Structure 1
Amino acid sequence: MMKSPLFLLAACALATGCAAPAYVSPVQVTRFVSETPAFLGQGTVEVVAAPGSDAASLEYEIYANAIRLELEELGYRIVPDDGNQTAMVSVEVFVGAEERRRSPVTVGAGGSTGTYGSGLGAGIGINLGSLSGPPPERIEREIFVALQGNEMTTNLWEGRATMVATSNSDFAEDAAAAARMADALFAGFPGNSGETIEVE
């Protein structure tokens, strides 16, 4: 006899505590390119923490290393100091059950990150949440990079990448998320100034 979907869903929740599905958003990228980007993608570059960032933290170093790799692929040579250009890096990670309330994006057109959710339980008279345990945590990440010339008065290029993933996804760990976000941030470098794109 064929079981109804309601029976199967309830049985799964009661027997094993059906895990909530993992979620990973596209990486949303906004970039700004100066009117004189002649030296982008060449020469030497020093990667430094933006003011207010903790350059000594393991979290920062994971993202900074991912950015260094992307810059090398673009044609830069990474140096510890006195580069022709400086890449200023900031990283923000927010972990919580609810969507983070963001301040307006200051690079390009901007935009908000998407929300996530499951349709399970809609119209079904059982509380799946109490059977399957708490939902996975939501991890919102944002990295910002500004490339400056030696004079460090104006930015030759700016880029911001944001991503949301749940704690049960393949991108729960910073190392995986950093590589994905850095790759998206520099895809098609330098990109169209002021344009916001989504990279799957």
Structure 2
Amino acid sequence: MTAARTLLIALAATGLAGSLAGCATTVSGPVQVTRFHLGAPLERGTVTVEPLPGGGPASLEFSTYASAVEAELIQSGYTAAPADVRGQYLAVVGFTRTTLEGPPKPPPFSIGLGGGTYSGGRGGGVGIGGGVSIPIGKSKSRYVVATELSVQIRRRSDGTVIWEGRAQTQADDKAPEAQANVAAGKLAHALFLGFPGESGRSITVK
């Protein structure tokens, strides 16, 4: 192998690594929201945020979602009840987080060097000059985190559910939106956007 060809191979490998790094992007999806209520104007008052019954004791992760929901309730006209006071309303919060395996990342680019061409794909390579190649391996699977937040507002005096909603979203596991604190804020904001919202209608919040 000539010195010139060795240099071309090194340059191609370096360039390809840079291109792959530049194309490694993370994706987060919109939020799907559905809400239901009685149709009558909703009263406001003091509210206490609690975990879904049967879901076990409140955890640190629950506190992340509870804080996001409480902040949106306050923005919607409710008042957070003091720790030692029973609120007029209960906001019952539930959440789930599931990691799913998605399809391999599609190769979004093509490069050429020295008469050869690389087109991204499974088990592909970079062609240089007279058939010298550098294998780049197979595509790696990507993972997404699916997160769901549900909230019920109940009147404490008689237990009536006066409003409830559910919000769902997905994000690449390496995207900021896959982190619990970011996902909680994003879901709670979408869920209470335009509160109380149109009953029975599903909307998409980007």
Q: How does 1:135-150 map to 2 (within 5 A)?
A: 135-150=141-156
Question: What one-letter code is carried by the residue in structure 1 that aligns with 2:53?
Answer: P
Larger radius of gyration: 2
Q: Identity rate of aligned residues, in percent?
A: 35
Structure 2 residue corresponding to 1:31, chosen from 35, 55, 65: 35
Relative distance call for 1:125 and 1:85 in structure 2 (3 A) is closer
Unaligned stretches of 5+ residues in structure 2: 1-11, 110-118, 125-135
Give distance in 2, aligned partners of 1:95 and 1:141. Answer: 9
Unaligned stretches of 5+ residues in structure 1: 1-9, 99-115
Higher relative contact order (CA 8 A, sep 6+): 1
Q: How does 1:37-186 map to 2 (within 5 A)?
A: 37-39=41-43, 42-79=44-81, 80=83, 81-98=85-102, 118-120=105-107, 124=119, 126-127=121-122, 131=137, 134-186=140-192
User: What TM-score results when the alignment is normalised by the length of structure 1?
Assistant: 0.74
Q: Which has the higher strand share?
A: 2
Matched, 1:190 2:196: yes
Relative distance call for 1:83 and 1:165 in structure 2 (3 A) is same
Q: Quote the offset at 1:51 in angstroms.
A: 1.4
Aligned residue number for residue 129 of structure 2? none
Contact 1:136 1:168 in 2 (8 A): no
Deviation track 1:151-198 (CA, whole Å, cap 9, x = no partner) reads: 353210001000000112121211111111111000000000001001
What is the root-mean-square deviation in Å for CA atoms of aligned residues? 2.9
Aligned residue number for residue 7 of structure 2? none
Give distance in 2, aligned partners of 1:75 and 1:34. Answer: 18
Number of aligned positions between the proteins: 172
